[in-house]
Amino acid sequence: MRLLILGTGGMANQHASRFKAIEGVSVVGGVDVVPERLAAFCNEHGIANHFTSLEEALAWGEFDAVANVTPDSIHHPTTLQAIAAGKHVFCEKPLATDAVKAMEMTEAIERSGKVGMVNFTYRNSPALQKGRQMVLAGEIGAVRHVEASHLQSWLVGRHWGDWKSESKWLWRLSKKHGSNGALGDIGIHIVDFASYGSGLDVAHVFARLKTFDKAPGHKIGEYDLDANDSFTMNVDFTNGAIGTIQATRTAAGQMDQLRLRVYGETGSIEMIYDTGQSTLRACLGEDVHTATWRDVPFDPVETNYQRFVQAVRAGKTQEPSFRRAANIQKVLDKALASDLSHADEALS
């Protein structure tokens, strides 16, 4: 499989390294509107062909699939161009900045017959995959309550750099630069994590978003610091269960932790991804009567990158698909609407 990487910012390095490590995959081209960044990226990863526009790359055309690692607001137009050119697409999350655009992309890829998948990174957690299997197998009975959080701390700690002076962080705080804040950036991950791990779909959302005062006049240079930094959601699931989903960039002491607890009629399961490490625990059977939690072993799982390559070779999309990403985007859109209306919002 010949792969083109579209966008050569920070996350593109992960795509290049992961795809190059898969047997039979060649990263044959890179695209970026910033020539210096493009050249440095291609030199680092040994990529022979450099393009400063997607149009230029499509005119060349000597590739099978596109890894779309452009900024969020650019996913929609560039993915549609790639689909129209007959290419498979592996898109970074979110698929689009709203559900209408995400569904347009979904319908386009499904009509084309090409593979379209989205990089929900935390699907790579073996604890999540094993925990979901246990829930779906009925090991905790019918799900009644779900508790999920995604905690980061880069607004209070400098472990990933200084957000006040680096554009790669500042754009995430600015609506005019295409950011939907913590909701759009990590909210999409924790909503997918909670829904996928519990095996349930969200039916109603009641949400609150919060933007904190981080600089004089809520501005640093060209960046208006107006995107949300934290959110909470109360949700109803389609089976009648309820839950809470929350995320923040201000959780000192938590670099990148996703935590999901699924409580059922007869037991509970906890799935944790914490800065690269996965943990799975359960309270099952007789342990319910003593509130005893035990570690659950799990096996390694294939990554999204590996599943995408397999899907292209088989000609059949695997999960997480464009349609899955579009449905998760609907939850985020309803959360934004709920924050404005101060009311519960139903997903149709």
Q: Mean pLDDT, to the nearest integer, of 188-214?
A: 97
- Pairing of β 230-237 and β 202-210: antiparallel
Whether residue 152 contacts residue 256, with contact meaning beta carbons closer than 8 Å, is answered with: yes
Q: Each residue of 171-197: pLDDT tens digit? A: 899 999 888 899 999 999 999 999 999
Residue 2, helix vs strand vs coil: strand
Q: What is the pLDDT of residue 298?
A: 97
Which residue ranges make up each domain of the chain?
1-119, 125-299
Dihedral sign computed on CA atoms, order 7, 11, 15, 16? positive
Task: Name the fold adopted by 1-119.
Answer: Rossmann fold (3.40.50)
**Token digits for 336?**
């934004």
pLDDT level of residue 72 (50, 70, 90 thresholds): confident
Give tens-digit pLDDT for 94-153.
999 999 999 999 999 999 999 999 999 999 999 999 999 999 999 999 999 999 999 999
Q: What angle do CA 313, 189, 33 make, to 5 degrees?
A: 65
Cut 0.85: pTM above it: yes
Tell the residue number behind the tokens 């938590």, with chain if given: 254
User: Is the confidence at residue 348, as pLDDT, over 80?
Assistant: no
Share of the chain above pLDDT 70, in %: 100
Q: Is the predicted pLDDT of residue 71 greater than 90, yes or no?
A: no
What average pLDDT does range 14-24 have in this prediction? 97
The CATH H-level (homologous superfamily) assignment of domain 125-299 is Dihydrodipicolinate Reductase; domain 2 (3.30.360.10)
CA distances from 196 to 163, 202, 271, 320, 328 (A): 31, 10, 11, 10, 10
Query: How far is CA 317 from its chain centroid?
Result: 17
pLDDT at 86 over 90: yes
Collect all residues with Cβ–Cβ distance below 8 Å to 257 and sequence separation of at least 6: 149, 150, 151, 152, 251, 272, 273, 274, 275
Token couple for 68 = 């779309």
Average pLDDT, the chain: 96
Strands (E), 153-276: 202-210, 219-220, 223-224, 230-237, 242-248, 256-264, 268-274
Helix, strand, coil shares of the chain as percentages rounded to 5? 40, 25, 35
Question: pLDDT tens digits, residue range 252-283?
Answer: 999 999 999 999 999 999 999 999 999 999 99
Contact 256, 275 (CB under 8 A): yes
pLDDT at position 10, please? 83
Sheet holding 143-152, edge to edge: 294-295, 277-283, 268-274, 256-264, 143-152, 242-248, 230-237, 202-210, 345-346
List pLDDT tens digits, range 309-323. Answer: 999 999 999 999 999
For 242-251, the pLDDT digits (tens) are 999 999 999 9
pLDDT of res. 9: 85
What pLDDT is attached to residue 203?
A: 97
Q: Is the pLDDT of residue 308 over 80?
A: yes
Tell whether the torsion through CA atoms of 209, 214, 215 and 216 is positive or negative.
Answer: positive
Q: Which residues pair with 261 in a beta bridge?
A: 147, 270
Contact (CB, 8 A) for 141 and 269: no
pLDDT of residue 3: 98
